[in-house]
Amino acid sequence: MIGLPVELAEFATKASTDAGEGLLETGELPVAKHLAAVLHHEHEVDMKLLAESAPRRRSVVDMHLSVTPSWHGMDMARSGHKKAPRRNPPANEGRRYRLYPTATADEVMTGWGHTRRAIRNLGLEQRITAWRYAKKTVRSFAQSHDLTELRQEYDWVRALPAQAAQRALADVDAAYENFFSGRSRFPTFEKRSATLRFSLPGQALEVRRLNRHWGEVRIPKLGWQRFRMSRALGGLSTAAHIVVCVSR
């Protein structure tokens, strides 16, 4: 998907000022629909430019899996083996694989990355607006209701798996927690770039090994996609973080 140079941060302040107290005067806190409308228009222009552009090269897609290791000692303890060692449950480990999606899946995941960025920026703008005009704190649990309305209204938002959309709002929660704990600066809007990403929980995925060098992962709405088995999985996948590097 080809991005426009228009950034959410550039029009967010003006839109919030124009909407002003009218956005919150009813006592409710709906999603900032004026921003959603702008994002919808921006998405339509993106798709038009994509259709008119020359075919681009395939993207480079990396899949980061969070894996709970299958610990032999724990299996022995559960079976009642007398020599089973006493240890704490193993922590999750990271696995990185190169994903080789089909051409169709490549285009779809690129669109998902743009949609996740838009939802994340929209969620951040809503929280900033809520605190600026009503001194209210909003978290992802409350915003999930607004997200449901957006999914009903816009097809491009509905195209993104619901788990990935919820994770985009949870990312804003994490950004605020890091800010208040002193680990990072105040959350900022994500800019358009060639690197896109989205996350899915483990229950939404299914991973299987084909042979020594190749495996497959079943992604919601995309089906089975091949990846290079550069190292053994060694456990049960609990989450996936997919990064798409778009070739311009």
- Rounded Cα distance between 8 and 76, Å, is 54
- Rounded Cα distance between 233 and 67, Å, is 7
230 is a domain residue: yes
Say if residues 65 and 232 touch (Cβ distance below 8 Å): no
Q: Is the confidence at residue 221, as pLDDT, over 90?
A: yes
pLDDT of residue 55: 54
Task: Please check whether residues 133 and 155 belong to one and the same domain.
Answer: yes
Task: Please check whether residues 228 and 109 belong to one and the same domain.
Answer: no
Number of folded domains that form the chain: 2
Task: Please check whether residues 156 and 44 belong to one and the same domain.
Answer: yes
Please give the model's pTM, rounded to 2 decimal places. 0.73
- Average confidence (pLDDT) over 9-15: 40
pLDDT of residue 27: 37
Task: Please check whether residues 42 and 97 belong to one and the same domain.
Answer: no
* Residue 189: other Cβ atoms inside 10 A: 16
- Expressed as residue numbers, the domain containing 218 is 60-74+90-101+201-245
Measure Cα distances from 186 to 23, 97, 128, 131 in Å.
Answer: 23, 32, 11, 14
Task: Please give the structure tokens belonging to residue 116.
Answer: 């996740």
3 is a domain residue: no
pLDDT band (50, 70, 90) for residue 237? confident
Query: What contacts 105, CB < 8 A, 6 or more positions away?
Result: 219, 222, 223, 225
Task: Please check whether residues 179 and 151 belong to one and the same domain.
Answer: yes
209 is a domain residue: yes
Task: Please check whether residues 139 and 227 belong to one and the same domain.
Answer: no
Task: Please check whether residues 119 and 151 belong to one and the same domain.
Answer: yes
- Average confidence (pLDDT) over 126-134: 91
> Tens digit of pLDDT for each residue in 150-160?
899 889 999 99
pLDDT of residue 37: 58
Task: Please check whether residues 164 and 188 belong to one and the same domain.
Answer: yes
Task: Please give the structure tokens belonging to residue 63.
Answer: 């899949």
> Closest Cα partner for 99 from 45, 136, 59?
59
Say if residues 220 and 204 touch (Cβ distance below 8 Å): yes
Task: Please check whether residues 109 and 208 belong to one and the same domain.
Answer: no
Task: Please check whether residues 49 and 127 belong to one and the same domain.
Answer: yes
